[in-house]
Amino acid sequence: MLNSAEIRRLIEEHQLVTNFIDLDKQLQPSGFDLSLGEVQAFAGSGSVDFSNEERVIADSRPLSPDYDGWYWLPAGSYTVVYNEAVAMPLDVVAIARTRSTLLRNGATVETAVWDPGYKGRSSSLLVVTNPEGIRLRKDARIAQLVFFRVKEVEEGYSGVYQNERMKKA
């Protein structure tokens, strides 16, 4: 697992993470906090198969925060898009974990793996289980990205999500 000094070096020398709000606040002893860029509500169903030939990503619609920048989210599932973009080197992989404050308020961020070679502004699944809902402010730190060194891969990620959402909304 990479420590904060290694993560900082990769950010400063190789743009591992860009579009962050405050490097010193978001850099953690063993990770980097991802912040809330936008929230989307599901507006349709999706399909998942083995070969991805019949894959359909569920439609979603962006939600708007109130005039103070707060989203009020009742219990349910949402897509969250992060402010930050990442550019994974061929010898680094990352996973994200929900920040404990979010968990203590009855919500979790479900994530996949950030593969070596992936570049983009990722999204994740936000699941609000608190029956009273949750309020999230735009730019709230909601997940921590944890980086690991791996043996360098010959070919990095090249799937359909490569370079996703590279223009910040």
99-125 pLDDT tens trace: 999 999 999 999 999 999 999 999 999
What pTM was computed for the model?
Answer: 0.91
Decide if 32 contacts 9 (C-beta within 8 A): no
Cα(137)–Cα(41) distance, integer angstroms:
16
**Backbone CA torsion sign across 143, 127, 80, 67:** negative
Residue 156 has pLDDT above 90, yes or no: no
Cα(157)–Cα(149) distance, integer angstroms:
16
CATH of domain 4-43+59-149: 2.70.40.10
Q: Where are the domains of the chain?
A: 4-43+59-149
**Backbone CA torsion sign across 107, 65, 165, 1:** negative
49-102 pLDDT tens trace: 999 899 999 999 999 999 999 999 999 999 999 999 999 999 999 999 999 999
Cα(32)–Cα(160) distance, integer angstroms:
25
Q: Which two tokens stand for residue 32?
A: 């980097």
What confidence category does residue 167 fall into, taking pLDDT thresholds of 50, 70 and 90? low
Chain centroid, CA 26 distance in Å: 13
Q: Which two tokens stand for residue 41?
A: 């509500």
| Averaged confidence pLDDT in the chain | 94
CA distances (Å), origin 85, targets 20, 63, 88, 148: 8, 21, 10, 18
